[in-house]
Structure 1
Amino acid sequence: MTETQASSAPKLREKGRILSASEIERTLVRLAHEIIEKNNGAETLGLVGVQRRGVPLAKRLASLISGIEKHPVDVGVLDISFYRDDLSTKDIRPVVNHGNLGFDVNGRDVVLVDDVLYTGRTIRAALDALFDHGRPRRVQLLTLIDRGHRELPIEATFVGRTVQTSSREIIEVKLREIDNDEQVLIVERVD
């Protein structure tokens, strides 16, 4: 990181912890059961994690569901960088990866998995990317944290926790697979 980047990075102050590691695990177990119930099992189910933190969440959920249902659950990885509608507002252009999703989504019940639902723009981009891979029978959305502030009419089917936030606040999801830490924090921009 250059000195200019460091000085332009927003200063953040931790306000509190929303979920501990054990609370994340309990939440995922509950969500796995909800997915099974809503989909009448796991026969046609496929989970697709939205890069970055949606991927380990999808893998964990698939493992939990497979253990409960005694049926393997396909997990895919979705890179939505190319589909974002805010590319022109980003400082650095993302690397576009049109890789393989990981399984055939045609006719499947797909659960898109992301860590935080905020404006809905990430999920809109994820839907565009998903449909470039095929036509699922049904698409449902799972988010660990729903913080409101929608700009698009998008609602999650499965929600770990709903947290009311201000526009100055940020939800930080930390997962051991990416961050070597496991918790969900609420932080605030400090001027």
Structure 2
Amino acid sequence: MTLPSVPALLDRLAAVTRAHLDEASTPPTLVGLHTGGVWVAQALAERLGLDGPIGTLDIGFWRDDFDRQGLPATRRSTELPFEIEGAHVLLIDDVVMSGRTIRAAMNELFDFGRPERITLAALIDLPGRELPIQPDLVGERLTLPMGQRVKLNGPDPLSLSLKES
């Protein structure tokens, strides 16, 4: 399978995000999930001409498989340099598949306040939902053969690779 180019995916995601933001009543605060979601958030902000701060989430302690996986090998910082209470949060991840990472991210966000709205953007949407969580804005929806996953490599340049799960 040939994977799409990341710049083309980012252009598509930026286009659907721009259309969404044109309809939104309040400007969003961008929050990327470590690590790939942060890279996508930075590239998306650049394409959209947004110069505000970008928040970052490390959801390691909010995962529901924490008891099976143990402590995360690397701990990155959660940084939300803006108020979450009442904000329109544009939550950004690189790949959405099961929905469990996004559930963990929303749990962590609510520890900082109650957003007015959360819009989920993903570079790639894959089948395999375990929770009823769907991205609102997507660069591309892909279907992969059983046992394969997509990984975003980066930060510079951003590229996609297939991995066996």
TM-score past 0.5 threshold: yes
After superposition, the Cα gap between the structure-2 partners of 1:122 and 1:99, relative to the gap in structure 1 and judged at 3 Å, is closer
What corresponds to 2:164 in structure 1? 188
Which structure would you say has the larger Rg?
Answer: 1
Measured in 2, the distance between the counterparts of 1:82 and 1:125 equals 8
Aligned length: 163
Is 1:52 the counterpart of 2:31? The answer is: no
- Kindly provide the CA deviation profile for residues 8-47 of structure 1, in whole angstroms up to 9, marking residues without a partner as x: xxxxxxxx43123xxx223212322322221227852111
Q: TM-score, normalised by structure 1?
A: 0.76
Structure 1: gaps (5+ residues)? 1-15
AA aligned opposite 1:187: K
Verify the 8 A CA contact 2:98 2:128 in the aligned structure 1: yes
Question: What's 1:6 paired with?
Answer: none
Q: What percentage of residue pairs aligned between the two structures are identical?
A: 35
Which blocks of at least 5 consecutive residues in structure 2 are unaligned? none
Say whether the 8 Å CA contact 2:32–2:41 is kept in structure 1: yes
Give deviations 1:57-93, integer Å, cap 9, x for gaps: 1011112212xxxx53331001101100001221x51
> 1:168 and 2:144 equivalent?
no
User: In the alignment, what sits opposite 2:2?
Assistant: 17
Instruction: Give 3-state SS (helix, strand or coil) of 1:40's partner.
Output: helix
Query: What's the TM-score once normalised by structure 2's chain length?
Result: 0.86
Confirm whether residue 142 of structure 1 aligns to residue 132 of structure 2: no
SS at match of 1:187: strand
Q: Does the alignment pair 1:26 with 2:8?
A: yes
Asked if structure 2 preserves the Cα contact closer than 8 Å seen for 1:17 and 1:183, the reply is: no
Q: Confirm or deny: 8 A CA contact 1:82 1:96 kept in the other structure.
A: no
Aligned to 1:88: 67
Distance 1:150 1:169 in 2: 15
Alpha carbons of 1:32 and 1:142: their partners in 2 closer, same or farther (altered >3 Å)?
same
Instruction: Measure the CA separation in 2 of the matches of 1:181 and 1:40.
Output: 29
Give the C-alpha shift of residue 99 in structure 1: 4.2
Q: Which letter does structure 2 place at the counterpart of 1:45?
A: P
Partner residue in 2 for 1:3: none
Q: Does the residue aligned with 1:39 lie in a helix, a strand or coil?
A: helix
Q: Residue type of the partner of 1:75?
A: I
What amino acid sits opposite 2:22 in the alignment? N
1:172–1:97 Cα change, 3 Å: closer
Q: Kindly tell me: are residues 96 and 27 of structure 1, through their superposed partners in 2, closer, same or farther at Cα, counting changes over 3 Å?
A: closer
